[in-house]
Amino acid sequence: MSTTGALPLEPAPGLGGEQAETLTRQDRAALRPPWRQPLALVGGGIILFWAVVAIFAPLLAPHPPNLEFGPILAPPSAAYPLGTDELGRDVLSRVIFGARLSLPLAALLVVAAMSIGSLLGAVAGYFGGLVDAIFMRLADLVLAFPGIILALAVAAALGANLVNAVIAVIVVDWPQYARLARSMVLGARSSEYVTSARLLGSSGWRTMWVELRPNIAGPILVLGALDMGNAVILLSGLSFLGLGAQPPTAEWGAMVSEGVANFFNYWIGLFPGLAILTVVLAFNFVGDALRDILDPRTARMLGK
């Protein structure tokens, strides 16, 4: 019976550990499946909302994003719910079309960083030695820089456009996956199920793919979900600094940047900024809930 088995005993009588490890309120909240946790639900809802917006942008947006037709710098009104910018473009339409860029690009670069990072990390962890030393020093090198600075440098070196910005963020982003994958592979490498597979004749690569992958996939995916918000910020940040999306592309970071140039017309920067904020928050909510589920302790209590 796992219920009693999981109860840790008090270490020592009188050694201060008066509190046995028990279910706290947070634990119990985390025990709930994600579809019953309010924050995860809110996060999921927001993500779903933005996904729908991105997919149906041409139908939802009142105007094309780059059409310079309206009054210049009009504040929000019935005709232009979020106002217009200095070229007379509808901010609402631009925010809606911005979702078509930010979300897919963030997803793409997270998937790429996740694949590259976890592959390198898993290989480093499994084979160790020189491979490990090379890959992980490379990761340390990247991690030693503040992310946005390195991304700036890479994007600047490659040239200012959106594709290069994505590459720059991938370069900055992969080491965290490598570290996580490596540490999990290191933990599992000497476990007996891996040894059993090896004794049965499974090669190193096959063992890593068949036996280890399912065991490290969960935490990596959670990290990916948590990282989506980060990716949106980095990408928008590069655009904000002029190294990502170039005018007239409707990209949220670039729009915030335009907002800064027109500081007293708050709506130009505020609404794309809110879009970034909601997306980042939503991914963090969902990622947190997923992390609780995958925590082995809570997972066991869930009967997983």
Partner 1 sequence: MSGDRRAVPPAVPGAPLLEVEAIDVSYARHGHSPVRAVTGASLTVGPGEVVGLVGESGCGKSTLGRAAVGLVAPSAGQVRYRGRPVEVLARGARPRWLRSLQMVFQDPYASLNPRRRVGRQIADAAALGAGAALDGKASSDRVGELLDRVGLSPGVAQRYPHEFSGGQCQRIAIARALAAQPDCIVADEPISALDASAQAQIANLLAGIAAQSGLGMLFISHDLSVVRKIADRTVVMYFGRVVESGPTAPVWARPAHPYTRALINAVPRAGAGGTLPAELPGDVPDPARPPAGCRFHPRCPEVMDSCRTTDPPGVDIAPGWQSVCLRAQPLPATTTGAGEVPGAAEVAGRPEA
Partner 2 sequence: MSASGDVVDRAGTGPTAGTAGPAAPAQGPVLEVEGLTISLRTARGLRRAVDGISFSIDRAEILGIAGESGSGKTLTALSVLGLLPGGARTGGSVRFQGRELLTLNRRQLREVRGKQVALVSQDPSTALHPLLRVEVQMTEHVRAHLGFTHDQARARAVEMLEAVRIPDPEAALAAHPHQFSGGMRQRIAIAMALACEPALILADEPTTALDVTVQAGILRLLDRLRRERGVSVMIITHDLGVLSSVADRICVLYGGRMAEYGRTGDVLGAPRHPYTQGLMRSLPGASEEGAPMVPIQGSPPSLDDMPAGCAFHPRCEHARERCRTVVPSLRTLPGGRGLACDVDPFGQADEGVAGMERP
Binding site for partner 1 (CB under 8 A): 127, 191-193, 195-204, 206, 210-211, 214-215, 300, 304
Cβ proximity to partner 2: between 31 and 87 the closer is 31
Cβ proximity to partner 1: between 9 and 15 the closer is 9
| 36, β-bridge pairs | none
Distance of closest approach, residue 206 Cβ to partner 1, in angstroms:
8
Question: Which of partner 1, partner 2, none binds 204 (CB below 5-8 Å, type-dependent)?
Answer: partner 1
Cβ proximity to partner 1: between 85 and 292 the closer is 292
- For 25, the token pair is 């309120």
Spatial separation of the C-alpha atoms in residues 242 and 236, rounded to whole Å: 10
Cβ proximity to partner 1: between 155 and 194 the closer is 194
Distance of closest approach, residue 35 Cβ to partner 2, in angstroms:
15
Cβ proximity to partner 1: between 26 and 203 the closer is 203
Cβ proximity to partner 1: between 198 and 291 the closer is 198
Spatial separation of the C-alpha atoms in residues 161 and 163, rounded to whole Å: 6
Q: Is residue 116 exposed (0-12), middle (13-18) or buried (19+ Cβ within 10 Å)?
A: middle
Question: Which of partner 1, partner 2, none binds 15 (CB below 5-8 Å, type-dependent)?
Answer: partner 2
Question: Which of partner 1, partner 2, none binds 14 (CB below 5-8 Å, type-dependent)?
Answer: partner 2
State how far the alpha carbon of 166 is from the alpha carbons of 88, 118, 152, 160, in Å. Answer: 29, 18, 11, 11
Beta strands in the chain (DSSP E): none
Distance of closest approach, residue 195 Cβ to partner 2, in angstroms:
22
Cβ proximity to partner 2: between 15 and 59 the closer is 15
Distance of closest approach, residue 184 Cβ to partner 1, in angstroms:
12
Question: Which of partner 2, partner 1, none binds 211 (CB below 5-8 Å, type-dependent)?
Answer: partner 1
Number of CB atoms found within 10 A of residue 194's CB = 19
Distance of closest approach, residue 31 Cβ to partner 1, in angstroms:
16
Spatial separation of the C-alpha atoms in residues 97 and 129, rounded to whole Å: 48
Spatial separation of the C-alpha atoms in residues 134 and 132, rounded to whole Å: 6
- For 128, the token pair is 């160790």
Among 272, 276, 268, 269, CA closest to 233: 276
Among 115, 147, 116, 142, CA closest to 230: 147
Distance of closest approach, residue 122 Cβ to partner 1, in angstroms:
14
Distance of closest approach, residue 18 Cβ to partner 2, in angstroms:
6
Q: Return residues touching partner 2 (CB under 8 A).
A: 1-5, 7-15, 18, 20-24, 31, 301-303
Question: Which of partner 1, partner 2, none binds 86 (CB below 5-8 Å, type-dependent)?
Answer: none
CB 115 within 8 A of CB 236: no
- For 259, the token pair is 């907002």
